[in-house]
Structure 1
């Protein structure tokens, strides 16, 4: 099975529903308090919608060059809005996502973790390049 297939099966098992997203958000906020500060005026439902959209966008950038342009625009938008996102915060976003996948995917193992890492790498690399202020 290819890493993309492993990723997709895991993604389906997680279902990425409201409960998953709230767990992900709680983990991310615990490890990155600045996220909570940045989005304190945005409701939970809107925050989880943004998280889900970001997961899907970054996932789709692995196989679709046209989506990479959207990720690039998203990164620039974060930078232009002065969000001051660090590479460490993007790494924490990914680790919080993996922590959540680990809780929701009963078949989670090292291969599944590697599949998530490989599949999301292209999008995360673009985000790091576009939104991190050096």
Structure 2
């Protein structure tokens, strides 16, 4: 599967990508940003809570940080990032079995958390975040 991370995605300009990256960096200034995301995400459904029941959450937070770094600030070339392929394989039905519908919960939980931690968050920035993450989320769903 070949994917272009954000390059050529309608509505994703370098300026938009930079704005999202700056928003992400503002969120990361608070140590609790990623932890709160997981609390919010886990509360979205019993299925999500069950997926994380025996998870080392400190390690999970580190993995989320690496994934977001890749999706938001990574290589914007036309080649598929190897790290994203590995994450997708791990989360597929052959790995920890995260069904595609849960990625919508993941995205909404992330955006609600960003809105809480970034004082510059507004409707335009929300749309920029959605556009930035669109390809990665679609890739994860397709790899299931």
TM-score higher than 0.5: yes
Is 1:3 equivalent to 2:16 in the alignment? yes
Point out the structure with the larger helix share: 1
CA contact (8 A) 1:14 1:20 kept: yes
Q: How many pairs are equivalent?
A: 130
Q: CA deviation at 1:76?
A: 2.1
Q: CA deviation at 1:113?
A: 0.5
RMSD: 2.1
Please identify, of 71-80 and 95-104, the stretch whose mean Cα deviation from structure 2 is larger: 71-80
Output the CA distance in 2 between the equivalents of 1:65 and 1:90. Answer: 23
Residue ranges of structure 1 left out of the alignment (5+ in a row): none
Residue ranges of structure 2 left out of the alignment (5+ in a row): 1-13
Aligned-partner SS, 1:123:
helix
- The ranges of structure 1 where at least 4 consecutive aligned residues each deviate by more than 4 angstroms after the TM superposition are none
Instruction: Give the TM-score of the pair, scaled to structure 1.
Output: 0.83
User: Which string of whole-angstrom CA distances, capped at 9 and with x for unpartnered residues, describes residues 34-65 of structure 1?
Assistant: 23322322222122112222222322457244
- The residue number in structure 2 matching 1:97 is 110
CA contact (8 A) 2:103 2:137 kept: yes
Output the CA distance in 1 between the equivalents of 2:77 and 2:45. Answer: 30
